[in-house]
Amino acid sequence: MNNIKAIGFDLFNTLITVNPQTLVIAIGRLIDSLRESGFSIEEKAFKRAYREKAFEFVEQARKEGRETHNRFWISAALQEGGILISPDDTRIGDAIERYFSAFYENTLLIPGTEAMLSALRDRYPLGLLSNFTHGPAAREILRRKGLNSFFKTIIISGELGFRKPYYKIFQALCEGLEAPVDQILYVGDDPDPDIHGAREAGLQPVWMTYVKDNNIPMARGLLLSDTEKPDFEVPRISSWQDLFSLLKF
């Protein structure tokens, strides 16, 4: 790699994996919370409306580069069932917290991640850049996994308002790392937002394929792209030792 001064990482399927049943558990908790708040919800109809509205909002977010949020999907899904409620209603906020609690119990570090980050931070400023709609949940996952202290800067799309592959979110990462754009390595698993996005923004991308190469089941959500592989040659790693070798570490 060319004159690397700093390294950025994606989060999901790059540093951590998620139990494939997590989204099923999460939507169940979401519905339970809404019902406890007094809403009469038919589960099958709500799930269908939630998926449809989430798809609509996410597709719009991808086109515009601006992040969406679960509260809009929930509000729109409830309105489909005749329940008029603002996305900012506290009862929706409570349901969102319950939804994301499923992630806290169902994430695992990719083997060797802590040791890798510990070794690299002595030589490079490290940053985290994740597409995640709800910033507090992303930060709680990082806290529970003991990852916060490794990073000079942490950029979450739900907090910044932009999402990968939009160049502004990569700009924020570069500013936080205080390194020239073309001297920052960015490691991610999802070809469109991570690899294409990083290159378009001027960073040096590395494709992390640990999950893909080890056939690890994924909790595939609407925020993952459908692109199978980058459309250009890019360094590919399947373990942290591969990254060390790439960096001649």
In the predicted model, is pLDDT for residue 218 greater than 90? no
CB 103 within 8 A of CB 130: no
* The pLDDT of residue 228: 80
In the predicted model, is pLDDT for residue 112 greater than 80? yes
Residue 10 inside a domain? The answer is yes
In the predicted model, is pLDDT for residue 229 greater than 90? no
Domain boundary among 104, 131, 159: 104
Edge-to-edge strand order for the sheet containing 236-237? Answer: 153-156, 126-130, 6-9, 184-188, 204-208, 236-237
Domain boundary among 67, 83, 104: 104
State residue 12 phi and psi, 5-degree precision.
-75, 130
Q: Please state, in angstroms and rounded to a whole number, the distance separating the CA atoms of residues 129 and 159.
A: 11
CA 4 to chain CA centroid, nearest Å: 24
Encoded amino acid at 159, one letter: E
* The pLDDT of residue 137: 97
Q: What average pLDDT score do residues 96-108 get?
A: 96
DSSP annotation of 110 reads: P
Confidence at 92, pLDDT banded by 50, 70, 90 = very high
State the DSSP H helix or E strand holding residue 109, giving kind and residue range, or none if neither.
strand 107-109
Pairing between β-strand 107-109 and β-strand 6-9 as defined by DSSP bridges = unpaired
> Do 26 and 13 share a structural domain?
no
Query: What percent of the residues of the chain are helix, what percent strand, and what percent coil, each to the nearest 5?
Result: 50, 15, 35
Confidence at 225, pLDDT banded by 50, 70, 90 = low
Q: How many domains does the chain have?
A: 2
Domain boundary among 104, 130, 155: 104
In whole numbers, what is the pLDDT of the chain averaged over residues?
A: 94
Residues 158-213 have pLDDT tens digits of 999 999 999 999 999 999 999 999 999 999 999 999 999 999 999 999 999 999 99
Which pTM was predicted? 0.94
CA 27 to chain CA centroid, nearest Å: 18
* The pLDDT of residue 52: 95
Give the domain extent around 55: 22-104
* The pLDDT of residue 37: 97
pLDDT more than 70, % of the chain: 96
Residue 1 inside a domain? The answer is no
In the predicted model, is pLDDT for residue 26 greater than 70? yes
